[in-house]
Structure 1
Amino acid sequence: MPFIASSTRPDGQLAKKRAKDNGLARLQRSKALSLLHLLG
C-alpha cells in the first residue's frame, strides 16, 4: 500500500506526510514518556 501511494503521489506530498507522521510519533512518544515519568 505505501508503495502504491508513493508511486501515485508527488515527492513533496510524500515528504510532507512522512514529516507529519514522524511528528505525530514523536508527540506520542514524548507523551508516553511524560506519563511514565509521572507514574514512576
Structure 2
Amino acid sequence: IAETKARNMEQEIFQLQKSLEQRNEQLEASMSSAEK
C-alpha cells in the first residue's frame, strides 16, 4: 500500500510541475507581449 501511495504522490507532483511550467510560459508570453 505504501508503494502505491508513493507512486500516486509522484504522479501528482509530476502533474503539478507540468501545470506550473505551463502557467510560467503563459505568464512570460503575456509579459513579453505587454512590453511591446
Q: TM-score, normalised by structure 2?
A: 0.73
Percent identity for Structure 1 against Structure 2: 21
Structure 2 gap ranges (5+): 30-36
Identify the structure with the greater helix proportion: 2
Residue ranges of structure 1 left out of the alignment (5+ in a row): 1-11
- 4+ residue stretches of structure 1 with deviation over 6 A? none
CA root-mean-square deviation: 0.5
TM-score by length of 1: 0.67
Alignment length (residue pairs): 29
State the structure with bigger RCO (CA 8 A, min sep 6), 1 or 2: 1
